[in-house]
Structure formats: structure tokens, C-alpha cells
Amino acid sequence: MEQAIVVAGPTASGKTKYAVSLAQELNGEIINFDSLQVYKDLKILTAYPAKEEQNLVKHKLFGYLNYNEKTNVASWAKLASIEIKEIFLRKKTPILTGGTGLYINTLINGISELPEVSDQTRHKAEELAKINYDLLCKTVYQNDKTLESIITRDKNRQMIRAYEILLETGKSISAFYAAPKKKFISNVDFEFRLINIDRKKLYERISLRFNHMLKNGAIEEVENLLQKMNSDNLKKFPIFNAIGAKEISLFLKGRYSFEKMKEIACQNSRRYAKRQITWFKYQIPKNCAIKIQ
């Protein structure tokens, strides 16, 4: 069985540097599994690998989408499986690095195939969510009480998705979760290298990195993107889930001071890091070896 290595950990923990070092040592190539680094438009704000790092080893699945393009975990997993196979054919080691746990978990364990829903159904669900989210939740739970412990009310996107599928098919989303998962890759042993860093040090690095981003053009980067988009509805564009993007846009609109923008962006980044730490602690596949760096 061939082996791939997964370098995982929270934002600002040093994954990129370690992955590059590992790729040099093991004759490897790097594959991105960060859901925001797949976009090319906010390279500074999404902590894109530096040109010097990209020149040292090959980097795959970075910046292959424009800001107005959408993707999903299944599309990424399909592309990643192709890249892994091609790297093996070149007699090299695939090294996957990133912080989006759902992406790597889907690649390794597969995904429940959910049905497509029509634009009309999606619009109905979104409208009800805006007008009466309580009714939407109640409808989903009345149809399938088991979902009360699986999709809690705070999981808005998943709840709306469950309602969409109920409207479209008349079936609970749990029926599709129970079906055999679609697999993307087999006969590969994934070894995890989990970056473990002191929490206080990590938070310091988050602040330092964001200040560095601001000094090196992050504000101009967001400003240019806003001009290109020509839209106030940032929710339409997944790239604006990049921490700092919304905060900087509010600063540019005069709704945040410079200091408040920095404070909130760093606070949101720390919260995200905490969620990542928790996810990787409990969700790393049990059959994968873990080495703490």
C-alpha cells in the first residue's frame, strides 16, 4: 500500500513551512486542503505559500478558482485523488496540507451522496429561513426526530440543506447519510502529522501574522476584489469566508476603525483556530497514524 502524509493543524501553526521541509526531505509534492486557498484572489489574506516555497517543491490545488466560482468538498476530493495518483506515478510522496478538516476527512472516508435540488426549491428554503427559521427547523425535526441530535439549530447551513432535500425528495437527509458512501481513493495509507503548538504562542502568531498581512497589502487586496465584484452581497462569494476579508471590507466602508478591524479579525481567527484544534483532536480518522510535531 502506498503512503501519503497529511500535515494538519490550526491556522498560523506553521503547516506550510513544515510541509515544504518534509517535501524536500521525502521527495514529495504538496496538495492543498484549505477551502480558501483554492481561490486565487486573496493570496495574502489566505496565507498563500510564498513564491520561494512554491519554487522549492511543486504545489497542487492552490488558486485554481476565481472569486466568483463555487466548489464543494466532493469536487475538491475528486481533484485531490487525481493529483495523488499522478504524484505516485512520478515516484514521489503526496503531502497534503491545510486546515479544512472536512476536506481531508471526505477524501479518506468518502461522502454521503446527497441529491441535487432545483433552484426553485433552494429559493423556497432560503426564503423560509429568513422569514421563519423556527418553522423550518420544526418541519425538519417533525419529519425525522433523529436529526435533533445530529443537526442542531445553530447549524444553519446544514439545517437549510436538510429542509431543501425534504422538499425536493420527500425524504429525510438521514436516509442519504445511511446509504453507502462514495469513495474517492483506495489502497492509500494516510499518515497524519499534527502540528501541536502552545495555545498562547499560537495566538501571538495569529496577531503577528495578521499585522504582517496588513503591512503587505491585505487591505489593497480586499479593496481590489470588492471593486471587481461590484456587489454588496458578500455572502454570495465563499471567498469572503476568509478571516479578515469581511472585517477589512467593513473598515473600508468606514464602519470599523483600523484598530477595531484588527481586533475583531484576530479574535475571529483565534476562535477558528480553537475549532480546528478541537476538530483534529477528535475527528482524525482512527486508522491513521498520528505524529505530533
Q: Tens digit of pLDDT for each residue in 161-194? A: 999 999 999 999 999 999 999 999 999 999 999 9
The pTM for the full model equals 0.87
The stretches of 27-118 forming alpha helices (DSSP H) are: 51-56, 73-89, 101-109
**Rounded to 10 degrees, what is the CA torsion of 29, 31, 36, 41?**
50
Strand order in the sheet with 59-60: 59-60, 28-32, 93-98, 2-8, 188-194, 289-292
Q: Please return the burial class of 84, using the count of CB atoms within 10 Å of its CB with bins 0-12, 13-18 and 19+.
A: buried
What local confidence, expressed as pLDDT, does residue 288 receive? 66
Q: Tens digit of pLDDT for each residue in 191-202? A: 999 988 899 999
CA angle 156, 33, 61 (to 5 degrees): 120
Separation between Cα atoms, residue 202 and residue 198, nearest integer Å? 6
2-111+183-197+276-292 topology per CATH: Rossmann fold (3.40.50)
Model confidence at 291, pLDDT cuts 50, 70, 90, reads: low
199-274 topology per CATH: Helix Hairpins (1.10.287)
pLDDT-wise least confident of 43-57, 115-129, 161-175, 270-284: 270-284
Domain ranges across the chain: 2-111+183-197+276-292, 119-177, 199-274
The correct answer on CATH 1.10.20 for the domain covering 119-177 is yes
